[in-house]
Structure 1
Amino acid sequence: MKQLILMRHAKSSWDYEVSDKDRPLLQRGINDAHLVSKTFKAHAPKLDFIYSSPAIRALHTSMIFVRNFDYDLAHFRVDKSLYDFSGDSVQRFVEQLDNGLETVALFGHNYAFTSLANAWGDQYIDNVPTAGLVHITFGVDDWSKISKGTTKQMVFPKQLR
C-alpha cells in the first residue's frame, strides 16, 4: 500500500518585492504550519521520505514539519518539479517515485495539490487551503499505478483554530 501526504505551503507574504519563488511566510503561516504538523503527527504513519518545492514558502513549511516530526534530513530532498501549479509535473514526479518508499510527503502549491487531491482521493475538496494537508492511501505497491485512492485524513488550519 502506498500513502501520499500532500501539504500546501503555509500563508505567504506579498509585502516584499521578490520573485515568486522567494516569497516568505507570514507569521500566521508559520503558526498554521506548526498547528497542522503537530496535529497530523498524532496520527501520522512513518514517513519514508519528504520532498519539497524549492519555493521559499514551501521549503519553510516543510522545515517546520520536519522539525516538529524530529525527522532525519537524510530522507529529505528539494525537487524543482514540485514547483508546479497545474499538477502535471507533480503527478509525473509521484509516478516515478522509488517503489521502496511506502509513505511520502510532498510540500508544494495550489492549484496542483487541490487538483491531485481530487483526482486521487475519494472526497471532493473545493480548495486545499494554505497549510492544508491531505493524506491519501492507495491499494497498490507501484507508484506508477496509483489512481483513485482513499482520502484518509484532511487537516486544515481553520479546523484547528
Structure 2
Amino acid sequence: MSAVVSSGGAAPGTPESHRIVLLRHAKADWPDVSDHDRPLADRGRKDAAAAGSWLASHEPSPDLALCSTAVRTRETWKLAVQELPERPRTVYEERLYEASLGELLALLNEIPDDVGDVLVIGHNPGTHALADALSGNAEGDALSKMNRSGFPTSGVAVVEFTGSWKSVEHGVGTLKAFWAPHE
C-alpha cells in the first residue's frame, strides 16, 4: 500500500476506537468490456451520490479511503466523495479488486495505527464477507438488515473496533450501521 498520512491518533499505549466503513460499488453496466473496465449504470450514478449523502449525514469523514482500481469503484467514489464535507486521502489499491476475505483482512492490517477511520470502496463477495467477519456484535437490527439484503450495490456497512489495525481479525468489531439505497 502507498504511504499513508498521519492523522494524529491516541497517545501511545492507549486503545483507540476506529471505524471501517465498507462501501460496495454502485450498480454497474454490462457493456462489452472486461469486468475491471465496467462503468456505472444510470442507477449506479444516482445511488453512488445517495451513498455519499448518507455518509455525510451519518459518519465523520474518514482519514483514508482505499478504493479498488476497477472503473465502477473509482466512479462510485468520485460521485460519493462530492457529498462529503472533506475529501480524505485516497489510495487506489489494485489488491481490492477480486480480493478474498483473507486478502482484505491483510490489507487492513497494513494500515498505520496513526490512521483513525478508513473507508473501503470495493466489491462483493469480499465486502459482505468482511463486514460479516468483523462483526462480532451488532447494534439494533444492523446485522439482520445487512444479511437480509445480501449487501447490495451502493450498500454501506460501518464497523467499529478498538485496538490497532494489526489486531483487525474475525469478530473484533461491532456493526454500528448498515444502509442501502433501495431498502
Flag whether TM exceeds 0.5 (same fold): yes
- Give the unaligned 5+ runs of structure 1: none
Within-5 A mapping of 1:47-62: 47-62=62-77
> Displacement, 1:98?
1.1
Q: TM-score scaled to structure 1, two decimals?
A: 0.91
Deviation at 1:115, TM superposition (A): 0.5
In the alignment, is the contact (CA less than 8 A) between 1:40 and 1:155 conserved in 2? no
Equivalent residue, structure 2, for 1:20: 35
Letter in 2 for 1:145: S
CA contact (8 A) 2:61 2:85 kept: no
C-alpha displacement of 1:128: 0.9
Deviation at 1:70, TM superposition (A): 4.6
Query: What secondary structure, in the 3-state scheme, does the structure 1 residue paired with 2:83 have?
Result: helix
SS at structure 1 position matched to 2:182: helix
RMSD: 1.4
Q: 1:136 aligns with which of 135, 139, 159?
A: 159
Quick check: 79-88 or 19-28, which moved more? 79-88
Partner of residue 58 from structure 2, selected from 43, 46, 59: 43
How many residue pairs match? The answer is 156
Over residues 74-113 of structure 1, what are the superposed CA-to-partner deviations in whole Å (9 max), with x where a residue is unaligned?
x111011111242222211111111111100000000001
**Same amino acid, percent of matched pairs:** 28
Q: What is the Cα deviation at residue 2 of structure 1?
A: 1.4
Larger radius of gyration: 2
Name 2:120's counterpart in structure 1: 106
- 2:28 matches 1:5: no
**Aligned-partner SS, 1:158:** coil
Q: Which amino acid aligns with 1:4?
A: I
Q: Is the 8 A contact 2:55 2:84 kept in 1?
A: no
Q: Which residue of 2 aligns with 1:154?
A: 178
Q: What is the alpha-carbon distance in structure 2 between the residues aligned to residue 43 and residue 118 of structure 1?
A: 20
